Amino acid sequence: MAAYTQESAAPVIAALVTKLNTWRREYYTNDAPSVEDSEYDATYRQLQELEAQFPALIQPDSPTQAVGDVINPAFTKVPHAVPMLSMGDVFSLGELQDWAARLQSGVDEAVAYNVELKIDGLSLSLVYEQGRLVQGSTRGDGNIGEDVTPNVLTIADIPHTLPEPLDLEVRGECYMPKAAFAKLNAAQEADGAKPFANPRNAAAGSLRQLDAAVTAKRELATFMYTLVAPEQYGVTTQHEAIAFMRRLGFATNPSSVVAQDLDQIDAYITTQTADRDALSYGIDGIVVKVDSLPLQAQLGNTVKVPRWEIAYKFPPEEAETVVREIEWTI
Ligand SMILES: NC(=O)c1cc2c(=O)c3cc(F)ccc3oc2nc1N
């Protein structure tokens, strides 16, 4: 990072904010970003570092001050009783260790973690009343989401009714399986339409459709990962919450495990990184959560992200994979 003064940093920060906001609008409004996630992440961290150095220069419209996505005004708005936050990121095992050490230092009991694949899709909330699906919504800006109820009713693995007449809300990831993505882009090319850049954008463009008949053809799928207000159902850990949702008929990811320490988390990351290409859906990292739900509540959230979970992001696939192979052969 070049050495800046407050004066010389101001225009640089302004330019970074403009560039990142343009990319955000592309990404969240028409689900077609012009840059790879890795370039967005790198530019975002550059802005974070400059804002940390010169807090007086933080602009109100800086993407570091916003939660979540840009809302499409064409959808009915849905207030989220419990905010749908995003997650903090780390990009190395060292950073993950630092996160876990900071967290453990504030807690008496030994922390156990629930470790999950980070499905590369978009967040989805499902609300049931007396066991019937009444609403589906996107994250939106975290407090206000977009009502996509007609669309979620067309997604095959979302139950319309539950085996018990429960009032509950669950949250998860809506994604497009790799095979469905390949089929969709072949059809796009055949129709002379623009292909989607990746399965995540295809899922977002398919879920955030004003015409549910289009969503119905897109073969979307879900993995649910959060039970809202778990204490109402006597659920006290994240791994129990996943089993509870699975028993109710929700699709939950089979690969999550409880880890007692960093070595077990590291082993999980190594295994899942090796198996990544064999998965029928895209993942872009691993999510490490405090397993105890009361401890999660005690740790709480910052304005943007929970303190009790972190996303370990895989390096960008192309270049990094080659570099890593070279590392291993030395
Ligand atoms: N992409 C994912 O596979 C995934 C994403 C999230 C979140 O975004 C997330 C956001 C919150 F505010 C709280 C818990 C979460 O848990 C999550 N767990 C996951 N497995």
Residue 11 belongs to a domain with what CATH number?
A: 1.10.287.610
Residues of the chain with pLDDT under 50: 319-330
Number of structural domains, the chain? 2
- Ligand 1 centre to CA of 225 (Å) is 7
What is the pTM (predicted TM-score) of this model?
Answer: 0.84
> Which tokens belong to 44?
């975002």
Q: Whose CA is nearest to atom 11 of ligand 1?
A: 85
- Which of 11, 31, 65 delimits the end of a domain? 65
Residue 184 counted as domain residue: yes
Residue 78 counted as domain residue: no
**Beta strand 89-90 with 309-313: parallel, antiparallel or unpaired?**
parallel
Is residue 96 a contact partner of residue 288, using CB atoms and an 8 Å limit?
yes
Give the pLDDT score at 321: 40
225 lines ligand 1 (CB under 6 A): yes
116 lines ligand 1 (CB under 6 A): yes
Give the pLDDT score at 326: 34
Give the whole-angstrom CA distance, residue 254 versus residue 146: 28
pLDDT tens digits, 222-243? 999 999 999 999 999 999 999 9
Give the pLDDT score at 31: 67
85 lines ligand 1 (CB under 6 A): yes
- Give the number of the atom of ligand 1 that is nearest the alpha carbon of residue 84: 12
Phi, psi of 167 (to 5 degrees): -95, 120
158 lines ligand 1 (CB under 6 A): no
Q: Which range marks the domain in which residue 14 is found? A: 1-65
Residues 109 and 236 in one domain: yes
Residues 88 and 58 in one domain: no
- Ligand 1 centre to CA of 11 (Å) is 35
- Ligand 1 centre to CA of 86 (Å) is 7
Residues 49 and 91 in one domain: no
Give the whole-angstrom CA distance, residue 160 versus residue 126: 10
Residue 172 counted as domain residue: yes
Give the pLDDT score at 208: 93
Residues 26 and 149 in one domain: no
ipTM of the shown complex: 0.98
Residues 52 and 103 in one domain: no
Q: Show Cβ contacts of residue 134 under 8 Å, excluding neighbours closer than 6 positions.
A: 127, 128, 149
> Which tokens belong to 237?
């850990």
The C-alpha angle with vertex 285 and arms to 283 and 291, in degrees rounded to 5, equals 110
Residues 110 and 239 in one domain: yes
Residues 92 and 16 in one domain: no
Q: Which residues are catalytic?
A: 118
Residue 79 counted as domain residue: no
Among 256, 302, 309, 313, residue to substitute to test ligand 1 (most atoms within 8 Å of Cβ): 309
Give the whole-angstrom CA distance, residue 119 versus residue 137: 18
Residues 24 and 96 in one domain: no
